[in-house]
Amino acid sequence: MNNEKKEESNFRENIRRDQPVVMPQAPAIEKSLLSMMVVDPINIISRCIADGMTEDFFYIPAHRILWEIIRSRYEKNESVDITSIDQAVSDAGRLEAVGSHAGLVDVLSFSTSTALFESHFGTLKEKYLRRTMIAAANSMHELAHSEEMDINQILDTAEQEVMQIRNSSAQTAAWSLKEDINAVMDNMTRLIQQKGQVQGLPTGYPKLDENINGLKPGELFVIAARPSMGKTSFLLNIVEHIVLNEKKPVLVFSCEMPSVQLVERLLYARSGVSKKELAAGAGSLTRDKHKSLARAIEEYRKSQLIIDDTAAISISELRAKARRVLMSHPDLGAIGVDYLQLMRSHTKQALNSREREIAEISGGLKSLAKELKLPVIVLAQLNRGPENRTGKSKGLPMMSDLRESGAIEQDADMIGLLYRSAYYAEDDAEKEKVGDNANLVLAKNRNGPTGNVPLSFHAELMRFVPREPSEDEMEDS
């Protein structure tokens, strides 16, 4: 019995395969819209262009040619009538392609009414989107059978194509000066009411926010440092502020530490209770310390912090996961990545060159920020340049120290170089003098000033806090 069902299923499948595939199309609707363009060029053609019509909207090759000619004449402010279009098609040597004079007249004199524009345009767009989906599915079919591309890269490509189709399906609103003026007035009112407050998402560090005007959608913020400078702690401090104080979801990709260690660090920093104090036993904690720790745990329980600790995650996998998180958390505030050089890219070019691989990762993170309209904060490792400097410059990081690729410097909107002076102190006296001083050197800021952000690092709590600059630092600036 099972064999009979299997044979019947195979028979039906073979029948389906033998049948010619008819692509979604609406020839009469295509004729109707082209005819409307001749009847009322200024109104109809401008609406088609504003609503994103391209030649791909038309399935019939002759109709594609006519649309190209009509649009070209409209943009040159030339007349759009049957006689002029006929001559333009002839001059282009494409008369036979549109079915000669008779075929051209048949299309452009098609009986229709401009009152049907909305309905007919919607139908045409739907057919176009269906064809686009079929083409994307066929492309995925071919890629899936190919062994040349990594599976995560194929999935990333598939998600990108689906999102592009979804975005193109959105209705394009007509431009309105009145609406733009109202929006600008709202922005002006907000600026007056905020009295100099940052426009982007605050980081929790006033001096940094003053320089970068907060974290803004589409921006890539690279925080780079040598090992043991505390760059993970600095990222987590910013994440803490966004998640708990600004009440925004944040997605963190941790390529280095397991999620449990990150959560542990977050709780120490938020509660003010150090690991050393806990190790001394519960009896050593005061009532206030107990309350503070309990409060921090409860705050994070209620928060919308998402951590992915996949080791050596590829850029395509990271982008795919970020898109899915955004779908479930549409108010996602930011994405953090710890750290760039631990990520991977599996393209053929990347396999042969580490510099090329880093460039693909860096460019992929910037593209992700633009695509999802979110700020992306990524940590990066510096080379040994700071250790090789002498005198007052010893330990001072520079953008040229960014490890393995200049593409990071090119792709980033902001670059902050983090360092702690005590780490490079030559003796105890110098170490005591600088204490817990740290600095974030804002070496690149595409939309604002660069400069130094003075910080203090409380190692036992893994927390950076703002501080006032010393006299020496003020003299140097």
* pLDDT (tens digit per residue) in 371-405: 889 999 999 888 887 777 777 777 788 888 886 66
3 state SS of 127: helix
Report yes or no: 355 and 271 within 8 Å, Cβ to Cβ: no
49-66 per-position pLDDT tens digit: 767 788 889 999 999 999
CATH 1.10.860.10 fits 27-145, yes or no: yes
d(C-alpha 42, C-alpha 29), whole Å:
20
d(C-alpha 231, C-alpha 382), whole Å:
11
The pLDDT assigned to 313 comes to 82
Amino acid at 9: S
**Out of 3.40.50.880, 3.40.640.10, 3.40.50.300, 3.30.420.270, which CATH number does the structure's domain 198-476 have?**
3.40.50.300
The pLDDT assigned to 255 comes to 87
Residues facing residue 306 across a β-bridge: 251
Positions of CATH 3.40.50.300 in the chain: 198-476
Does the CA dihedral 48-49-50-52 come out positive or negative? positive
Q: Cα 89 to the chain's mean position, in Å?
A: 43
Distances (CA, A) of 386 to 415, 417, 418: 16, 11, 11
d(C-alpha 151, C-alpha 261), whole Å:
30
Q: Indicate the length of the chain as a whole number.
A: 477
Q: Cα 475 to the chain's mean position, in Å?
A: 40
Helices (H) and strands (E) in the chain, counts: 21, 9
Q: Which parts of the chain have pLDDT scores under 50?
A: 1, 11, 15, 172-175
Positions of CATH 1.10.860.10 in the chain: 27-145
The pLDDT assigned to 11 comes to 46
Q: Environment class of residue 274 by beta-carbon count within 10 Å: exposed (0-12), middle (13-18) or buried (19+)?
A: middle
Residues facing residue 305 across a β-bridge: 250
d(C-alpha 361, C-alpha 348), whole Å:
14
Report yes or no: 267 and 297 within 8 Å, Cβ to Cβ: yes
Beta carbons within 10 angstroms of residue 289's beta carbon: 17
Assigned token pair, 38: 């001749």
The pLDDT assigned to 407 comes to 80
d(C-alpha 438, C-alpha 427), whole Å:
17
Q: Environment class of residue 327 by beta-carbon count within 10 Å: exposed (0-12), middle (13-18) or buried (19+)?
A: exposed
The pLDDT assigned to 312 comes to 79
